Amino acid sequence: MSADSSTATQTVPVLVPTPSPEPYTYALGEGMQAGPGTIVQVPLGPRQVPGVVWNGAGEDAAVDPKKLRPVTAVFDCPPLTGDMRRFIGWVARYTLSAPGMVARMVLRVPAAFEPEPPVPGLQLTERRPDRMTAARERVLALAGESHPMAWTRSGLAHAAGVSLSVVDGLTKAGAFEEIALPPQPVVAAPDPAYGAPDLHGEQAQAARMLTDEVAAHTFSVTLLEGVTGAGKTEVYFEAIAAALAAGRQVLVMLPEIALTQSFIDRFEARFGAPPAPWHSDLPPKTREKVWRQVAEGSVRVVAGARSALFLPFADLGLIVVDEEHDAAYKQEDRVYYNARDMAVVRAKLAHCPAVLVSATPSVETRHNALEGRYRHVRLPRRFADAALPDVALVDMRKSPPARGGFLSPVLLEAMAETLQRGEQSLLFLNRRGYAPLTLCRACGHRFACENCSAWLVEHRFRGQLQCHHCGHHEPVPEACPQCGTFDHLVACGPGIERIAEETLAHFADARVIVLSSDMVGGVKRLRLEMEAIAKGEADIIIGTQLVAKGHNFPLLTLVGVVDADLGLANGDPRAAERTFQLLSQVTGRAGRTGRKSHGLIQTYQPEHPVLKACADGDLEAFYAAQIAERKRGAMPPFGRLAAIIVSANDRQSAEAHGRALRAAAPASGDIMVLGPAEAPLALVRGRHRFRLLVHGSERADMQAYLRAMIAAAPNPRGSVRVAVDVDPQSFL
């Protein structure tokens, strides 16, 4: 960092991580160099903050430079590339966020702006000590063989199996000189030729189409579609290999952190080194190293969550978005963005290909592929002999569960048979805890969260009632707080804990594992449990949507979906799509290694077209129906949606501001505003919420409209907050 001293002569616009709509202008001290993209430190109020030198003129550009505050320091860090800066601007415009708030996502690791300190090291010289010992001989022999002939002190002692004092003695005698080693790479360089597989005909053809895109060095989008187990990962690994061979960097996006371990192991087996990881749970030192080495171009492949999109790649050659349909790609906090869509934009600005991967693509992506806007590469068959499971619907009206239970005799029998064969069953229910609602049988009192409009979920294992929205929890009381009656509380409906209880009542000797994201022990425990399952150390697995993804369980041959109606009933326009994707993914877990396998989907509405499509595995019929329906309703991708969420500490202020926004909506033939309506989740963490839905035609300039609407409305006052969600995924 070079410190400022002299009088200011030049000015620069600097984008700082705040909600300000424009960069601020700072004076640049004499001798300071700071072209666009340079990361600098500037004063902001009483604080020092990092910022990026921006293009064009900043606010106050006309002010006399002598009156401006000076740039405090210029970091010794590669500047953000032009395409990264354009990306920040693009995301800000599209999501109606302040560019500074988008830049904030890039500048989150300030410790990485300074170069990593060099590591002290030793290098062999020509001089040899007068006195030799066996230990000294070993050290010198080892050091003489190695390439390059530079070691860390402890690394050398360890490798030679001697104490540090032996190495120090040799250094003193002049056999080694002390040098500065470059900082350790956070991961070794992947080798594109390391574990190349033998791809069979269709796979090889698909891989060639992707590697051609990589070689073309231009923007393109390809949908790589194929049933689970078809080898999509193997195929896109070839595209990664091609980008690596061309000397470029690769970003692989994955929706779920808990699953990255199995991905990382697989990547390492293919490329001889793991990818650099990127997600919110990374230790700070690793974060710093990854950020810095990505900026310098020495990290070649990053596997990360959606925030990896904001890493400052030096030379991006390929972006892969695995499970592109996954809802986890949507961020709904501060800057609302869909990382899948923004990945396509990033690729476009970086002039590199994007590959979207899924067994059940989003309706939008599939439509783009069918229309020829995206290339469509398909892998229709499972690899080797692995057959897709037979999937059947269980009509719960015809084979109802026993009183108080949730598992039908059909499913229980299939579980018994699977157990007998020594194979595994998976019961899937997307509901954590024991029961989603607790009520008092005497007075009808229902236990609700005091901060949110949500029922408290009983977690029997912990003896708690929990709110899944704000985290509020309280012990399960012995008596009803309303009427005081003892022992009259009843659990309504099932959560996975309750399904586990029912399972154990039927199969007392079975080894049952319950998996959910809020499990005690977190991600680490989850990983261990998954490994145990893969090794066959469980008979029955009961889990939430977490188990739907990733992982190969070779012994798994039966998947039971406890309540398929759950996802279809929540009033979300994407409910059908989500249910189809989830159920396909869950049932796709079974039979991945050639054994005969089954999926049983419990439902009270077996005639529902989405469930029928799941049972028939009729992807084409499903997408055709969905696309027709979206077209009729002018829903995305045939129309555009944005949500405006107004929240406040009191209901009245939220509603009043919602109305003011509505009143400020310009008249338009292309765009319609609905609401404000109280949000389905009307109260979250003590904040009252109202929603407006803005629905436009395919051609509508949604962003311009929203901007005009917000500008014409009064500024939010007091506790009122306005959030804009372009292309909303959630309607709660």
Q: Which of 202, 213, 225, 234 binds ligand ADP (CB under 6 A)?
A: 234
User: What does 238 interact with, of ligand ADP, Zn ion, none (CB < 5 to 8 A by kind)?
Assistant: none
Query: What is the 3 state secondary structure string of 472-507?
Result: CEEECCCECCCCCCECCEEEECCCHHHHHHHHHHHC
In the shown chain, the binding pattern of residues 392 to 431 toward Zn ion, with x for contact by CB under 5 A and - for none, equals ----------------------------------------
Comparing CB distances to ligand ADP, the nearer of 169 and 229 is 229
Q: Which of 228, 249, 545, 557 binds ligand ADP (CB under 6 A)?
A: 228
User: What does 99 interact with, of ligand ADP, Zn ion, none (CB < 5 to 8 A by kind)?
Assistant: none
User: What does 665 interact with, of ligand ADP, Zn ion, none (CB < 5 to 8 A by kind)?
Assistant: none
Q: Which of 85, 104, 136, 232 binds ligand ADP (CB under 6 A)?
A: 232
By the rule CB under 5 A, 451 interacts with Zn ion: yes
By the rule CB under 6 A, 231 interacts with ligand ADP: yes
Q: Which of 91, 107, 457, 467 binds Zn ion (CB under 5 A)?
A: 467
Say whether the peptide bond before residue 637 is cis (omega within 30 degrees of 0): yes
Site for ligand ADP in 238-297 (CB under 6 A): none
CB 22 to ligand ADP: min, Å: 45
By the rule CB under 5 A, 681 interacts with Zn ion: no
Q: Residue count at the site for ligand ADP (CB under 6 A)?
A: 15
By the rule CB under 5 A, 123 interacts with Zn ion: no
**In whole angstroms, how far apart are CA 730 and each of 115, 570, 613, 643?**
41, 11, 23, 9
**In whole angstroms, how far apart are CA 233 and each of 229, 323, 481?**
9, 11, 54
Q: How far apart are CA 420 and CA 271, in angstroms?
A: 40
By the rule CB under 6 A, 230 interacts with ligand ADP: yes
Distance of CA 212 to the CA centre of its chain: 28
User: What does 109 interact with, of ligand ADP, Zn ion, none (CB < 5 to 8 A by kind)?
Assistant: none
Q: How far apart are CA 567 and CA 614, in angstroms?
A: 14
- Give residue 142's identity as a one-letter amino acid code: L
Residues 6+ apart with CB under 8 A from 508: none
Least Cα distance to 511 among 522, 502, 503 occurs for 503
Contact stretch for ligand ADP (CB under 6 A) within 40-48, 118-126, 222-230, 511-519: 222-230
Comparing CB distances to Zn ion, the nearer of 307 and 570 is 570
By the rule CB under 5 A, 449 interacts with Zn ion: yes
Q: How far apart are CA 298 and CA 188, in angstroms?
A: 10
Comparing CB distances to Zn ion, the nearer of 454 and 713 is 454
Q: How far apart are CA 583 and CA 428, in angstroms?
A: 9
Q: Which of 229, 599, 676, 716 binds ligand ADP (CB under 6 A)?
A: 229
Site for ligand ADP in 157-216 (CB under 6 A): 197-200, 203
Q: Which of 176, 329, 383, 447 binds ligand ADP (CB under 6 A)?
A: 383
E-strand ranges in 339-412 read 353-358, 375-379, 390-395
Say whether the peptide bond before residue 190 is cis (omega within 30 degrees of 0): no
By the rule CB under 5 A, 472 interacts with Zn ion: yes
Residue pair 519/533 in contact (Cβ under 8 Å)? The answer is no
What are the tokens at 130?
């007068």
Strand, helix or coil for residue 266: helix
Binding site for Zn ion (CB under 5 A): 449, 451-452, 467, 469-470, 472
Binding site for ligand ADP (CB under 6 A): 197-200, 203, 226, 228-234, 383, 552
